[in-house]
Amino acid sequence: MDLITPTAETDISEDIDRAGALDGAAIVDARGILRTYVRGLIEVPVLKGLDLRVRRGEWVACTGRSGSGKSTLLNVLGLLDSADAGSYRIADYDVSDLDDHGRARLRNELIGFVFQLHNLLPRTTALENVATPLVYRGVGRRERLRRAAAALERVGLSDRADHDPAELSGGQMQRVAIARALVGDPAILLVDEPTGNLDLTATAEVLGLLEELHGDDRTIVMITHEEDVAEHADRRLVLDDGVLRPATAADVARRL
């Protein structure tokens, strides 16, 4: 694999297509990941040598008690945060070879992120929210809005395109957040508690959407504390004492 020279001219998407030819290879390959938060004199070790490999097109669910480090893990996987140690390859890029600019470009090309609290921009329409990631790709406004409208249609919210987040229900906000994660057609979706605070109907809608996206051969890493949601994934893992392990029957029964 060639190293990326992260210049404005680098066309990462071509490289990503080439990496996609590695059939069956791990698209996410994290090994020995350490992440400790330091606040003054207090050190909070959160990820303690964590390993994770995810195959292209696989849907992995990760549970774990509150504060176990699930969002921290997703931030590292999504290149929003850096591990203190360990190796991380994503779609065959060695993340440690990239500077901030290269990481931002890779994230923008490859990863769709659905945040735990959806993080929609306030006082900004659903359509504009969904179009935001395309700004960083240099897509022109007209084309941005066209693609954003298509993504909103995909999540069944064309009729809410002009609504601000404050004018949407929780489930609708979550679907807008999914549309925003989708708009750049990312190979990998990282989803943090997609159904937290949603009722059964809205949960079913979001899950149906994730099923559909998984059907498109997209790779999904999903954090959830809900058993009924986790069971939709191909593989179940638990974040436990800073590392990931396969979910056991006892975990499933305990309903983390």
Ligand X SMILES: Nc1ncnc2c1ncn2[C@@H]1O[C@H](COP(=O)(O)OP(=O)(O)OP(=O)(O)O)[C@@H](O)[C@H]1O
In the complex, the residues that contact ligand X under the rule CB under 6 A are 37, 39, 44, 46, 64, 66-72, 116
Closest separation in Å from C-beta 116 to Mg ion: 5
Query: Binding mask 51-80 vs Mg ion (x if CB under 5 A, - otherwise)?
Result: -------------------xx---------
Nearer to ligand X (CB atom), residue 49 or residue 208: 49
215 binds, among Mg ion, ligand X, none (CB under 5 to 8 A by kind): none
Residue 195 as a binder of Mg ion (CB under 5 A): the answer is no
**With the CA atoms of 213, 132, 119 and 208 taken in that order, what torsion angle do they form, in degrees rounded to the nearest 10?**
-20
Whether the CB-CB separation of 130 and 148 falls below 8 Å is answered with yes
Nearer to Mg ion (CB atom), residue 67 or residue 208: 67
| Chain position carrying tokens 């009924």 | 228
Strands (E), 40-83: 42-55, 59-63
236 binds, among Mg ion, ligand X, none (CB under 5 to 8 A by kind): none
Closest separation in Å from C-beta 178 to Mg ion: 17
User: Who contacts 153 (Cβ-Cβ below 8 Å, separation ≥6)?
Assistant: none
- d(CA 138, CA 5) in angstroms, rounded, equals 19
CA atoms within 13 A on the CB side of 147: 20
- d(CA 194, CA 49) in angstroms, rounded, equals 26
Nearer to ligand X (CB atom), residue 46 or residue 191: 46
Closest separation in Å from C-beta 226 to ligand X: 11
Q: Which residues form the interface with Mg ion (CB under 5 A)?
A: 70-71, 116
